[in-house]
Structure 1
Amino acid sequence: MRRKIATQELKGAWRMHRREFLGALATSPVMLVMSGCAGSGRAAIDESGSVMTVLGPVDAGTLGMTLIHEHLYADLRPYAEQAGNPLSPPAEVVDVVLPYLRDIHRLGCRTLVDCTATTLGRNPALIRQLSEASGLHMLTVTGAYVAAGGRFTPSYVLDETDAQLAQRSIGEWRNGIDGTGVRPGLIKLGVENDLLGDTERKVLRAAARTHLQTGLVIASHTGPWGDVEPGRNGCCAFAQLELLGAEGVAPAAYVWVHAQNEVQASHHVRAARDGAWVSFDGFRPGQEGAYVALIRRMWEEGLLDRVLVSQDAGWYSAGQPRGGEFKPFTPLFTALIPALRDAGFDDEDLRTLLVRNPARAFTIRVRVRQS
């Protein structure tokens, strides 16, 4: 890792008008470095294989620079309310969201993973429309979300067996989601308790069955929001890894979502050494120091190749005027990447974080636990 100094253009960019700023960044050293990531070809990726996007399968080596955990459209009403009063995305969603997607495309991003869970407003047809309009590869999800105190848990998740839940997800993989023809690119779960309950264990077993049939990676929202009790978030992740392992699934098939909420860094190291993906995915401007420290620790341990980064941003929210406050996708490029370069992360480190690791994580491949 070589020491790099951020340019004065980037440091002063925050004071520019948004359009002027993007134009300046397009010719900055950060952009020039990352432009090599945008479509570098499969030879630059450690794993060969395909990734399932909303427009169909693509070679993993073509994903380029990837945001691995973001949101486009969501419905954050309790699931019972959603079911009783369904809302379709208004036509304005595209007008509101598309400029944010075009911004990151200009900055070198080529893939965005929409991690909106199945019962939080997942809308494959809308994601496909935004993918076509923006030129970005996009992925959507299958699975079940039982975090948030059950706020988004439908009755069928409570009533069906793990085998029946797995067949729902496997059916979406084989036939497409809700008649759209769009197939999922990952399994998204939501699990918040470190002592797994019956429903959480059932959902995890269903995810294991689905992975072993489809090769889709399992990305699990882990722990309650805002939890800073040392060890609790990590213990929740390890409980999931243990159960998945008992079902024959290797840690490499698991993404620990929201790992930044675990303040005990030794847990990140342990999970990565076991082979899991450790995802620091809630970055916001002003958190540069914390995120650099998290990523540096993993680099020092020789585990940078198990780290994923993103922002959990976006969120056009159903029922709110123009979707409420939409959080832009640009801060990772305009704040975190310059901070990482200031801290000494070089071109290859950035490619590992933003290109190689996402391509390997989302490659369709069954990962079987070795005894």
Structure 2
Amino acid sequence: DVGKAVQELRMFIEAGGKTLVEATPINYGRDVRGLTEIARKAPEVNIVASTGFYVAEAFDQRLSEMRIDELAELMIREIREGMDGTSSKAGVIKVAAGYFRIHPLEEKALRAAARAHLETGAPIQVHTTHGTMALEISEVLEGEGAELRKALLLHMDDNMDKWLTVKVLERGVNICFDKFARVKYRIPEEWRIKFLEDLIKEGFESQLMISMDAGRRSYYKSYGGGPGLEYLPKVIVPRLLEMGWDEKLVKRIFFENPREFLKFSPRKR
């Protein structure tokens, strides 16, 4: 519902939110016209739409039969010309890997994403299933020549294994902790914050981002749910400051790192 989405964004804006990356890709229910209307009615917030493909189970027959370069060309068109027959362009590439495996369709999409990135300079974000396959994803992207500083692995706080996370960060890739407000998974916010602090002490603060995997309307106050898109700026940021994070560090994690990631890099082809 466009009206409820705008209402939710208004609360986000009032809490200090500036940019929302809408990570729904081509084959998982993306609504380009709805997003465009929402952006028109809430111009104070930057809405960054995604091109790309979700996990193997979401591929239809047409997409499944497309070659790597054909998938790449589709993403390139959506970045340069517009999505779904509109003039609204994608600002980020979204692909995915499964739970402890990269399906052949997912590998094809990862390789296509890297090629589209090299052609357009667009950044790549990758859904990990419970934080698995992070090293393998990085290897596939790097094998295609992608700049890992322009890749972001999502949901990495589902698997807070320090040895693995440090190995991933040492490759140069970015990671996102985006399961804040998911207390139902029995991981309190305190654990996420402490793990982030450990990674910052290791010198990785320029590769860390915080977000919300709020992909269902049950998370939105405008639908009678919670905690709402305002949760990070309204609840988590003040908590971090109270815990001793200085404003420079908060700005780094919430503003500077996402801004650098979302910038298009110079074309490599």
> TM-score of the superposition, structure 1-length normalised?
0.66
Tell me which amino acid in the other structure corresponds to 1:133: K
The separation in 2 between residues aligned to 1:325 and 1:336, in whole angstroms, is 18
Query: Which residue among 358, 362, 366 is the counterpart of 2:258?
Result: 358
Alignment of 1:158-177 (within 5 A): 158-177=64-83
Q: Would the aligned equivalents of 1:144 and 1:188 in 2 still touch at CA under 8 Å? A: yes
Runs of 4+ with deviation above 6 angstroms: none
Q: Would the aligned equivalents of 2:160 and 2:195 in 1 still touch at CA under 8 Å? A: no
Establish whether residue 133 from structure 1 lines up as the match of residue 41 from structure 2. Answer: yes
Q: Would the aligned equivalents of 2:179 and 2:211 in 1 still touch at CA under 8 Å? A: yes
Q: Would the aligned equivalents of 1:292 and 1:339 in 2 still touch at CA under 8 Å? A: no
Query: What's the offset of the Cα at 1:327?
Result: 5.3
Gaps of 5+ in 2: none
Which digits, 9 at most, give the CA deviation of each residue in 1:239-278, with x for residues without a partner?
Answer: 1111111111121121111011112122222222221111
Q: Would the aligned equivalents of 1:278 and 1:307 in 2 still touch at CA under 8 Å? A: yes
User: What is the Cα-based RMSD across aligned positions, in Å?
Assistant: 2.1
Query: Which residue among 98, 111, 119 is the counterpart of 1:192?
Result: 98
Query: What's the offset of the Cα at 1:160?
Result: 1.0
Tell me which amino acid in the other structure corresponds to 2:163: S
CA distance change for structure 1 residues 167 and 327 in 2, over 3 Å: closer, same or farther? farther
Aligned residue pairs total 260
- Secondary structure of the residue aligned to 1:269 is helix
The separation in 2 between residues aligned to 1:239 and 1:161, in whole angstroms, is 21
Establish whether residue 303 from structure 1 lines up as the match of residue 204 from structure 2. Answer: yes
Query: What's the offset of the Cα at 1:115?
Result: 0.8
Establish whether residue 146 from structure 1 lines up as the match of residue 47 from structure 2. Answer: no
Q: Would the aligned equivalents of 2:96 and 2:110 in 1 still touch at CA under 8 Å? A: no
- Secondary structure of the residue aligned to 1:289 is helix
Establish whether residue 243 from structure 1 lines up as the match of residue 140 from structure 2. Answer: yes
Higher relative contact order, structure no. (Cα contacts within 8 Å, ≥ 6 residues apart): 1
Query: What's the offset of the Cα at 1:169?
Result: 0.8
Which digits, 9 at most, give the CA deviation of each residue in 1:57-114, with x for residues without a partner?
Answer: xxxxxxxxxxxxxxxxxxxxxxxxxxxxxxxxxxxx1221222111111121111111
The separation in 2 between residues aligned to 1:301 and 1:165, in whole angstroms, is 38
The separation in 2 between residues aligned to 1:306 and 1:349, in whole angstroms, is 12
Identical-pair percentage: 27
The separation in 1 between residues aligned to 2:159 and 2:267, in whole angstroms, is 25
Tell me which amino acid in the other structure corresponds to 2:49: T
The separation in 2 between residues aligned to 1:324 and 1:188, in whole angstroms, is 29
Tell me which amino acid in the other structure corresponds to 1:117: P
Gaps of 5+ in 1: 1-92, 228-232
Match of residue 246 from structure 2: 346
> TM-score of the superposition, structure 2-length normalised?
0.89
Query: What's the offset of the Cα at 1:195?
Result: 3.5
